[in-house]
Chain A
Amino acid sequence: MTKKHIQQIVIIILASTLVGLAWNARSVQRYFKGEFERGFLSTEESSAIIFISLPEAESLFASREAVFLDSRSIGTYLQGYIQEAVHVPFETVFEVTDEILASLPHDKILVIYCDGLECQSSINLARYLFQKGFSNLKVFFGGWMDWKNAGLPVSGDDD
């Protein structure tokens, strides 16, 4: 690699940076507004997928307005899950079958959760369900850990 090549590489990277940041200017603005702290959602997805915390999850559970979806693997689900939560595993992609999709209600709020703050499968599942036409989605980001630590109703082996 000669000096000329290094110069050309720098030019290509700089040009890509300029075009890329200009192209994504809106996303950059949204980033600095703090919109991506929990996950990267497009503006359309952001209008349909709402992040909720424990008190909201608890009140939706109590009022029975929502169906809870557990996006963790079968092993972790069976060890314990939010009472009556439906298992819709999304640890692996393309796992949600048409039968599962058909069984989910369109007229209720879907509250999706996984382990807790570090897991991404709840938000991945929410994006997927949004693409499949569901528009009343909430991601309970504190997930199983928050729910269990708060001593709220659970089912499974941990009972």
Chain B
Amino acid sequence: MMIKNRYILHLFRAVLGGVFIWSGILKVIDPMGFAQDISNYRIFPRILVLLTVSVLPWIEIFSGTLIMVRKWTRSSTWILSALLIFFLVLISVTLIRGIDINCGCFGPLSKKVDYTLILTDSVLLFLSLNLLTVKSSRNIVRS
């Protein structure tokens, strides 16, 4: 079921972009806290943790902003969709392993890894995949 109403698509872009900008800024503010949160997953080597901490928040901020201002929308949506799929896999693996940790998703405001996080990510993934399947928002405006 894909939604094509352009007003709803505007809303989707605002929500998706907003969430990622917000989450990126929170991580940029507290890089060491975010690094410790990623270390807690006990999967990533330290150098990769540092790289993720440095780069990921800015990918989120840039992609989120581009989606909101509707420049390079499709490319940014691809990036955020890929990130969301990665987060979903990571959260699922963590739940299966049964480790009880802070997700790190929203920097200092992060919550525990649990099933509601899967729901949140799935909703965001639905928004982004929906945006990807719409041919081109400008064509819809014309038609």
Using a CB–CB distance below 8 Å, which chain A residues touch chain B?
A: 1, 5, 8-9, 12-13, 15-17, 19-21, 23-24, 27-28, 31, 36-37, 39-42, 45, 91-94, 118, 120, 123-124, 127
Contact = CB atoms under 8 A, between A and B. Distances in A.
A37 B46 contact: yes
A23 B61 CA distance: 14
Contacts of B42: 118, 120
Interface string B29-47: 0011101100110100011
Contacts of A37: 46
B33 A127 contact: yes
Given A16-B58, A16-B62, A20-B55, A27 B36 contact: no
Given A24-B53, A40-B32, A127-B36, A12 B59 contact: yes
A93 to B, nearest CB: 5
Interface of B: 28, 31-33, 35-36, 39-40, 42, 46-47, 49-50, 53-59, 61-63, 66, 72, 74-76, 78-79, 100-102, 112
Nearest to B103: A93
A27 B76 contact: no
Given A12-B66, A24-B54, A93-B101, A39 B59 contact: no
A31 B52 CA distance: 13
A12 B55 contact: no
A24 B101 CA distance: 25
Contacts of B46: 31, 36-37
Given A16-B58, A23-B28, A118-B42, A39 B100 contact: no
A28 to B, nearest CB: 7
A91 B100 contact: yes
Q: Specify the main secondary structure of chain A where it touches its partner.
A: helix
Contacts of A20: 54-58
B78 A5 contact: yes
Nearest to B108: A131
Contact of A124 (B40, B59, B74, B112): B40
Contact of A21 (B40, B54, B56, B100): B54
Given A5-B78, A92-B100, A13 B28 contact: no
B54 A40 contact: no
A40 B78 contact: no
A9 B75 CA distance: 6
B127 to A, nearest CB: 18
B59 A23 contact: no
Nearest first, the 5 A-B pairs at minimum CB distance are A40-B35, A8-B75, A16-B58, A20-B54, A20-B55
